[in-house]
Amino acid sequence: MRRLVAAVMSACLMLAPWVAVAQVNSLPSQPHLLVRGKGEREVMPDRFMLSVRLEQTDASPELARSRVQADAATVLGLFKANKALADSIEASSLSIEPSSRYVDGRQVFEGTQVSRRLSATFSRLEQVRAVLGGLKTSDHLQVSGVTPSYSEETRVRGELKREAVAQTRETAGKLADAYGVRLGGLYTISEVAPDFAYGIQAGSWGEGRWHGGPVLPAPPAPAFDVPEPRASDKVQAESLEAGSLTLTEYVYAIFLIAP
């Protein structure tokens, strides 16, 4: 029996990254299998958050403030005119601070800088294009970016977690069958990637159930870089397109090997 357990332990090590036998901080005292489950789905974004930064610098703080407020009124008007989602419009408080620059190695006071950030979320990309077409960007009014998202992300991630859990059970069962052993109970399950004692780090698990190879961690949801509109603002705004978003959930589970 000891030889059989030793053979299983050795095989589990060879099958990394899908199977492991040692985990720092949470090691069961008996033989076990560590497997990863993955749920992934591509979705089309249906929410688009547009962010704008306003900034003015002047020797008169009041003049700088009034210019920022005037620009804010213009941007907020475009947000509302293009049907930004209810309660999605956000406007930060005014930030006021001294501004200076270096001239010939000397710090020269320029005036008071007043800035503010505005953002709003839209349900259609055409609405974002319309807002961009109505903006005239400059040193004082800049588009920070357009960030896409999916309104049903929470629900989808819940489904992906369940898929990942089911995959851990299936993978552990197949591995146990392949080596002629029986699975015991579930020892632990976590969404956090373990740090293995023998050097495999989070993100270096292979893709696929029965084959490996290091891969990079899943990239974050993409954000759109919006080109700064110039003379052809409306033409550039039309180049804004939405790609799909990849939602991924991982689950790591340790199953005990029955004696």
Under a CB-based contact definition with an 8 Å cutoff, are residues 10 and 211 in contact? no
Q: What is the pLDDT of residues 16-45, one digit of tens each?
A: 444 443 344 456 778 888 899 999 999 999
Q: What is the pLDDT of residues 49-108, one digit of tens each?
A: 999 999 999 999 999 999 999 999 999 999 999 999 989 999 999 999 999 989 888 988
Task: Take residue 200 and report the two structure tokens written for it.
Answer: 């495999």
Q: Which helix (H) or strand (E) holds 126?
A: helix 125-134
- For the residues 139-161, what does the mean pLDDT come to? 96
For the entire predicted model, the pTM comes to 0.68
Q: Between the CA of residue 55 and those of 116, 137, 176, what are the distances in Å?
A: 7, 11, 63
What domains can be seen in the chain, in order of their start residue?
2-41+154-220+248-257 (3.30.110), 47-149 (3.30.70.2970)
Indicate if the pLDDT at residue 115 is higher than 70. Answer: yes
Q: What is the pLDDT of residues 119-137, one digit of tens each?
A: 999 999 999 999 999 999 9
Q: Which helix (H) or strand (E) holds 3?
A: helix 2-14
Under a CB-based contact definition with an 8 Å cutoff, are residues 257 and 183 in contact? yes
Q: How confident is the model at residue 251 (pLDDT cuts 50, 70, 90)?
A: very high
Indicate if the pLDDT at residue 204 is higher than 90. Answer: no
